[in-house]
Chains A and B, each alone.
Chain A
Amino acid sequence: MNAIAPLARALRRLNPSAQLALLVVAITLVVALFPAAFATADPYTLDLPNRLLPPDRDHIFGTDNYGRDVFSRVLHGARYSLFTALVVVAFGLTLGCAVGVSAAASGGWFDEILMRLTDVVLAFPPILLAMVVVTALKPSLEVTMLTLVLIGWPEYARVMRAQALVVLSREFVLAARALGIGPLALLTRHVLPNALPPLIVLASLNLGIVILSLAALGFLGLGAGQPTPEWGRMVSDGRDYFLDSWWYPVYPGLAIALLTLAFNILGDTLRDILDPTTRRESS
């Protein structure tokens, strides 16, 4: 299977909204890597006399209640949103794939136990489960990320299991087995690559959800602590001042919305390319 060729072909034929979304993600990536190159001020320097200034030439997104430049803080915050989301999704995907493949390959009681485990995790409303786990483990950015991985893997595991079952019943698998391939090589070389496309689609659609969840937990005070310029945290700090200083919570909030929107559009586009069989819009 070769996902690169159709991807490259499609890149040229992408519709405008997908191209725009790709641009947003690319810019965010560059900003997340080199925030200092674009920021107009240090995101941590306190400047109390200039607190809560409205947007102007010097501070294009205004300043916050400590006089820090909101624009620079939003730029520096990009990494806490983008990279953490990528890490969370990557770990969830890996864990889910491992569980899904082993469940499908072994079957029997092992399969049953793993699948009931996914049922239990999926039974919880996600935000509340995250709140319970993060509070139990003491809030920090790492704990929040770990929690989102723990909440995220069952979805991948179930899709992976279903996919792997389909692939395992195909004739080429039988042929590979007849040729004497070992079980591990069979899974990694044949089953995994053939089962992967829907999972990539799912993962890309989940990026947006994870960004929103990270921001939501940050907003609830369960993510990175002060003075980290995490977007959700900034919205929640700005909430105390928003009637007179709308720029303080609104700009970080728009950043969350924009990045999530971009990933959602990309996920949709990727699904249309990689997974044309499922026309059902994911919910």
Chain B
Amino acid sequence: MPLSRFILRRLLLMCFMLIAVVAVTFFLSRVIPGDPAQLRAGMDATAEEVERMRQRMGLDRPLGEQFIRYVADLLRGDLGTSIFNNLPVLDNLRHFFPATFELALVAMIFAILLGLPLGALSAVRHGSWLDQGLRLGAMVGLAFPSFVLGIVLILIFFYHLDWLPSGRRLEIMAQIRRSAPPITRLLLVDALLAGDFTLFTEAARHLILPAVTLGLASLARLMRFTRASLLEELRQPYTQTARSKGLRPRRILAVHLLRNALIPTVTVMGIAFGSTLSGSVLVETIFNWPGLGQYAFNAVFNLDYPAIVGVTLLTTTVYLFVNLLVDIAYVTLDPRIQFSGAAAT
């Protein structure tokens, strides 16, 4: 099967999954306690007003019709109105997504830049004290809840050492003074585009603690996986061949092993990015980060169901899309893998 057909098939599969995901959220939204019509009309509304609101919201129609209307609304980009701030959910998502995306991206870069080399180091020196220490570190990193880590990091680096800010993307004054026009809405990129180096440093300083908190679990996961797959390659006969040929260990590692060992790691990166996105709910709450996660947290707190569903749909879509990209990268990188249409898990 050629690559294009593989991609097409995966895209179709993704559409199917999205419809199913929408069906699940629709079903759940009908289970939710409390009358949505009453919520929208306000608690002091009369029975007639609530009834009118119910008709306006289409809640008196048959369930099947409601679902079709729901999907049609979604396709038009209408995700409903946030009960909390009375704005269209889509506008809210647009407003909050860039902050989360920037945070997740920086967290992933941090995890990859440290996780791959540390994992490789651990594998090359396996059995040594260094390896033991790194493995234990990774275990602790996987077990430490992000919302506790965030608190500890703020205590150390903000409260005691006063090196780094404790939250937000920028200080309020800097936010007002900021010169860079919001082109991409990713602060780091916007600052660079505007050539504003002070803004860049400020934004970067604010990113360090939340990104480390968010990325630590992925870092640990990548480390463990890189170590395991590199060890697997070290056991392969071709490594022996390369050794008996008299190649230097470093060259064997760089030329032969790393490439093969890194291919499966790509899959883990995809999974890690997904968990980073959803993990941002916890981290953003700790760091007062004005992104999707904090929006979702407030939505849960206010029982703002359309908002929660909006965040979930958006995140799931990104999640599925990243998995698609990973699968494509996977089959392109490794010619041995057949395009089978099955998701690599």
Contacts and interface: CB of A to CB of B under 8 A. Distances in A.
Interface of A: 17, 116, 119-120, 122-129, 131-133, 135-138, 208, 212, 215-216, 219-222, 232, 235-236, 239, 242-243, 246, 249-250, 253-254, 256-258, 260-261, 264-265, 268, 279-281, 283
Nearest to A259: B143
Contacts of B31: 136-137
Contacts of B282: 127, 216, 219-220
B288 to A, nearest CB: 11
- Dominant secondary structure at the B interface: helix
Contacts of B275: 125-126
A116 B23 CA distance: 14
B316 A253 contact: no
Interface string B256-297: 000000000000100110110111011001100000000011
Given A212-B145, A239-B286, A257-B144, A132 B228 contact: no
A219 B147 contact: yes
A239 B231 CA distance: 42
A281 B305 CA distance: 38
Contacts of A261: 139-140, 143
Contacts of B136: 17
B21 A250 contact: no
Nearest to A251: B148
7 contacts: A17-B136, A119-B20, A125-B312, A132-B309, A216-B282, A253-B151, A256-B145
Interface in B139-167: 139-140, 142-145, 147-148, 151-152, 154-155, 159
B319 A235 contact: no
A55 B309 CA distance: 43
B60 interface: no
Interface string B110-148: 000000000000000000000000001001101111011
Nearest to A124: B316
Interface string B331-345: 000000000000101
A282 to B, nearest CB: 9
Nearest to A249: B151
A207 to B, nearest CB: 11
A275 B74 CA distance: 46
A265 B152 contact: no
B24 interface: yes
B151 A123 contact: no
B155 A246 contact: yes
Contacts, number: 152
Given A235-B151, A243-B155, A256-B148, A124 B32 contact: no
Nearest to B268: A283
A222 to B, nearest CB: 7
Contacts of A119: 17, 20, 343
A138 B33 contact: yes
Contacts of A249: 148, 151
B89 to A, nearest CB: 14
A132 B30 CA distance: 12
B308 A127 contact: no
B319 A125 contact: yes
B316 A120 contact: no
Given A221-B300, A243-B155, A281-B225, A127 B281 contact: yes
Given A215-B145, A250-B148, A250-B152, A125 B225 contact: no
Contacts of B17: 119-120, 123
Given A216-B282, A222-B300, A254-B148, 18 more contacts: A119-B20, A123-B17, A124-B21, A125-B275, A131-B308, A131-B312, A133-B28, A136-B29, A219-B285, A221-B300, A235-B145, A239-B286, A250-B155, A253-B152, A260-B143, A261-B143, A264-B139, A264-B143
Contact of B312 (A128, A212, A219, A250): A128
Interface string B235-271: 0000000000000000000000000000000001001
B151 A125 contact: no
B10 interface: no
B278 A125 contact: yes
Given A129-B312, A132-B25, A279-B232, A235 B148 contact: yes
